[in-house]
Amino acid sequence: MSSFNKKIPKKRYAEDRRQLQRNELEKNLRADAEQELRQYFDEQKFSNEDLIQAYPAIYEFIKRKAPNLAWKKYAHEFFRTYIEDLNKSNNLDLPLPYLTFEMKRDEPIFTLDWIQAGHEIDIILEKLWDYWILAQDSSAFSDDEIIGNILLCSMLYGGLNQIASLNALLEHLKNPEKIQKIFDFNIIFLEPLSPSYGDLFVDEKTIRKSRNFIPDQLTRLWLIHFNTRQIRDISLDVNAYLHLIFQKIKHPYTNKTFKFLRDYANFNWLQLQNADVDPALSQCLLENTLTCGLSEHEFENFAFPKFKTQLSAEIERNVSSTAKVLPDLNTSEAVENVIFIHKNLLKIMRTSTDQGTAKLIIDFCLRHQEQFNEFSKRIILWLISLYRPSSEQIKKLSATFDFDTTQYTKAFQDNQKLADSSIYTYYTRIAEPFLTHALQYIDADDDINDLLNKIYQQIISNTRLADEVDQPEFKKSKDQTIHMLKRFHTFQQIVFQAEDFELEFIASQSRPRARIIGHTAFQVILKKLNQLLHDQSISDHHYKLLKIIYILAYRTGMRINEILGLRVKDIEGLNQFSIWVQPYGSKKQGNQHLLKTDSAERIVPAYALLKDDEYQFFSDFVVEKRLENKKSLYLFSNLNENKKLNKHTVTAPLKLILNQVFKGHHYSFHSFRHTTANHLSLLLNCEYAPLVQKLTDYSENEYQKIRAELLQNQHGQNHWFVIAHLLGHIEPVETFKSYIHLNYLIAGQKLLKHHPDMPNELAKKIMGHNATFKNLQITNGEKDFNFEKNQSVLATILLNDQTKWLQSNATDILDELSLQIDQSHDFFCFFCWNRRF
């Protein structure tokens, strides 16, 4: 009878559950703040008379104790309530505490100064057009004038407003090779110098960043004239060329004019007809928001990837030879040696002995000398030097590892001997990451000293490790790391004659990984996965896991840690699945799952982002998992296990596939996340044609569906916040800085939509029209030049017979893989050739 009266718990929707969770968190946070303050008041035993003087100390205590802004707010609320109660109960008149916030708004783009300066820009534009119109013919423009007009138009119409970018454009004109035609417009791959942010590493003091420049309509006409004349004598700087044009238009040019143009040229290009550049994109063009484009190599890999193909060999190959297993995912000999060294050093460091840690390390090195490479040799000799070894020990090491004993002794003679208890810190901060990062350079042809700054960069920023594990506790104290690296590098300089590096400069650099996996490359990856299943190199279960994980990473931008941590109950919905990315568990239970940041908790609408066939595959998999009726079950796990998949299980096959299909690449699993950010940038900020149509594999219906699901309004500024939210960022600043690499392309294509009202004769004059210009559509019946009709022709003329990108051979490799998969599988040959049997 009691079972009938048992109260059935009310089912709550996900939104209600999240609200309950937030309320519980707020309750606990408020209770913690109150407890801390009560304990503080009890310890200090403030009298009513002394309490007013103690206000600053209490404020400081709250500031010091507060783990976040919410805790600080609750603490101040309790402090205020405490004083109010004290006043009421004791008939006092103590002043109520207050909480101040320091808020600083971004400076608005449209200010009174901007509008006033815009009037001056309008005058310059009017004089500039008069100068063009009044010129007798194209020959009236000197070579230097053409260069000056290119620079000025790129500022006023093309959104190129920074000194470094303008200097890079001038460098391009000296050797105009890095220009390509993509669809109906051109793209110039500028590489401006950047003091501390950029994707192109030159040396330890020099970084460049990829700045993709889409010439606007006017700049393109002048560039065509430049190419037609084949001008190569460029002897002036940007300022001098601009000064020349101002002399021609008879407008004053002072030492402040160049800066004035850089600051206020956006008054023109922000208001061009049909060029709907939103404020966020304008901040990227103005370089107020850190961001970078794609290098020419990475853009080609993204838009027109070239794959390895063996089509002719495949036809002659016997079916049995296709029965290859997935190569053993055991590490190579070099990696095994590093792991062996690592494990044994940790064991030695944890061993209590009367002999001393240094002696144990030296004995280990002498016994296993053949397992040390050049990098591990240097790091182990440095660790030993911290103990100030004896002359006898140094001689033994020198005989084995071949170094100058005098220089080695000199390297540590002024240092104190390291305590045994401190070696672990030096090892984990410097030696361990050095051994790990150095592995990628084992087969490099470069001199080892040239590779050191690259390894130092990775150690200081810890970028690689943080990207892969997504756990903030792996981040080390940068200042302490730099201090230890300086000590290590001083040793390298003395013993191995390494060059002098400014480690603080390396530490201040920020280098985004500007790489995007194109949709054709992704199809090849999936096709290659199908081949592995066909050849029985992977099981059906493993195949499903990998395919869904790769699809989720490619379409949603989820981090690998977030995907592998998903449980069945994190998939919400019946017909339209959304993914709740959230932390859970605890260290005590052994199932703690943390996110990279608090903002990483989010809802990802998989039903909207995945293509129909991909969503169906994902949906079927989720339904199968739900039927197991274990809500705490991991979504992705090995058969008959409920353990989170190891990252290596997912990343190793992907690396194998990428290495097999690409001639050269720098892709990793994290590149999927970059791809999502850029695909969403195109989907939410561009018309379907041409960019979305050509650079993604979404159909027009899918394009409309995603926009309808994600966009609550049509304001462009909102679009960037949607993208940031889907990636787990608080605001778009981090998204632009690290992930979005097509913003220059998007902004340039928008500026290109502005078609100036220009007579045919003026257009011909500016472009230096001659008889070689074929296919231009200029009819006698039309007075004005038709930019829309001539888009493709102008883009081709500007290319000027320079080396074009070769078309992608994706069709060849997809056909090749389809041919292999369609072949019937010979099981007898498979068991004969497969080493596992």
pLDDT per residue as tens digits for the range 519-546 = 999 999 999 999 999 888 899 999 999 9
Structural domain contains residue 734: yes
Structural domain contains residue 532: no
Grade residue 778 by pLDDT with cuts at 50, 70 and 90.
confident
CB-based burial label for 47 (10 Å; 0-12, 13-18, 19+):
exposed
pLDDT for residue 512 is more than 50? yes
**pLDDT for 243:** 97
Domain count, the chain: 5
Contacts of residue 680, defined as CB under 8 A and 6 or more positions apart, other chains included, come to: 557, 710, 722, 723, 726
Grade residue 266 by pLDDT with cuts at 50, 70 and 90.
very high
More confident residue, 651 or 111: 651
pLDDT for residue 323 is more than 60? no
pLDDT for residue 1 is more than 50? no
Could you tell me the residue range of the domain that residue 20 belongs to? 14-90
Mean pLDDT (whole number) for 389-399: 90
Looking at the structure, tell me whether residues 137 and 206 fall in a common domain: yes
**pLDDT for 187:** 94
More confident residue, 732 or 20: 732
pLDDT for residue 831 is more than 50? no
pTM over 0.75: no
CA distance linking residue 262 with residue 598, whole number of Å: 39
CB-based burial label for 540 (10 Å; 0-12, 13-18, 19+):
exposed
Looking at the structure, tell me whether residues 215 and 363 fall in a common domain: no
Structural domain contains residue 503: yes
pLDDT in tens, 553-575: 999 999 999 999 999 999 999 88
Please give the structure tokens belonging to residue 46: 């403030």
Which residue stretches of 91-215 are H helix?
A: 112-134, 143-156, 163-174
Looking at the structure, tell me whether residues 494 and 618 fall in a common domain: no
If we measure between CA atoms, which residue out of 201, 370, 367, 354 comes closest to residue 292? 201
- CB-CB contact of 516 with 678 (8 Å): yes
- Positive or negative CA dihedral for 691, 694, 698, 701? positive
More confident residue, 819 or 802: 819
CA distance linking residue 58 with residue 75, whole number of Å: 10
CA distance linking residue 820 with residue 320, whole number of Å: 11
More confident residue, 312 or 582: 582
- Positive or negative CA dihedral for 386, 388, 389, 392? positive
Structural domain contains residue 166: yes
| Domain harbouring 651, CATH code | 1.10.443.10
pLDDT for residue 184 is more than 80? yes
Structural domain contains residue 772: yes
Q: At 189, which helix (H) or strand (E)?
A: strand 185-190
Looking at the structure, tell me whether residues 678 and 655 fall in a common domain: no
- CB-CB contact of 290 with 511 (8 Å): no
Mean pLDDT (whole number) for 410-429: 81
- CB-CB contact of 765 with 134 (8 Å): no
Grade residue 464 by pLDDT with cuts at 50, 70 and 90.
very low
Q: Peptide bond before 690: cis, by omega within 30 degrees of 0?
A: yes
Grade residue 322 by pLDDT with cuts at 50, 70 and 90.
very low
Structural domain contains residue 325: no
pLDDT for residue 109 is more than 80? no
Phi, psi (degrees; rounded to nearest 5) at 180: -135, 160
pLDDT in tens, 285-320: 999 999 999 999 999 999 988 888 763 333 333 323
pLDDT for residue 146 is more than 50? yes
* CA-CA-CA-CA dihedral for 37, 41, 44, 46, to nearest 10: 140
- Positive or negative CA dihedral for 607, 611, 616, 618? negative
> How far does Cα 12 stand from its chain's mean position?
38
Looking at the structure, tell me whether residues 183 and 225 fall in a common domain: yes
Point out the domain boundary residue: 661, 692, 723: 661
More confident residue, 559 or 508: 559
pLDDT in tens, 198-232: 888 766 567 889 999 999 999 999 999 999 898 98
pLDDT for residue 425 is more than 70? yes
Mean pLDDT of all residues in the chain?
Answer: 83
Mean pLDDT (whole number) for 271-288: 92
Grade residue 439 by pLDDT with cuts at 50, 70 and 90.
confident
Structural domain contains residue 810: no
Mean pLDDT (whole number) for 237-242: 96
Looking at the structure, tell me whether residues 654 and 605 fall in a common domain: yes
Looking at the structure, tell me whether residues 677 and 649 fall in a common domain: no
β-pairing, 200-203 vs 206-208, is antiparallel
pLDDT for residue 713 is more than 80? no
**pLDDT for 310:** 61
User: Mapping DSSP to helix (H, G, I), strand (E, B) and coil, where does residue 173 land?
Assistant: helix
Which residue stretches of 632-789 are H helix?
A: 647-661, 671-685, 693-695, 700-710, 716-727, 732-738, 743-751, 760-767
Looking at the structure, tell me whether residues 273 and 386 fall in a common domain: no
pLDDT for residue 595 is more than 90? no
Structural domain contains residue 583: yes
DSSP secondary structure letters along 500-561? P--HHHHHH-B--------HHHHHHHHHHHHHHHHTTSS-HHHHHHHHHHHHHHHHH---HH
CA distance linking residue 632 with residue 570, whole number of Å: 9
Point out the domain boundary residue: 71, 90, 109: 90
If we measure between CA atoms, which residue out of 773, 724, 694 comes closest to residue 597? 724
Grade residue 3 by pLDDT with cuts at 50, 70 and 90.
very low
Point out the domain boundary residue: 69, 90, 111: 90
> How far does Cα 825 stand from its chain's mean position?
41
Looking at the structure, tell me whether residues 431 and 543 fall in a common domain: no
Which residue stretches of 180-255 are H helix?
A: 217-229, 238-248
Looking at the structure, tell me whether residues 355 and 418 fall in a common domain: yes
Looking at the structure, tell me whether residues 679 and 617 fall in a common domain: no
Looking at the structure, tell me whether residues 349 and 479 fall in a common domain: yes
CA distance linking residue 149 with residue 170, whole number of Å: 12
pLDDT for residue 837 is more than 50? no
Single-letter amino acid code for the residue at 665: H
CA distance linking residue 757 with residue 786, whole number of Å: 9
More confident residue, 802 or 20: 20
pLDDT for residue 473 is more than 70? no
Please give the structure tokens belonging to residue 583: 């932390």
pLDDT for residue 347 is more than 90? no
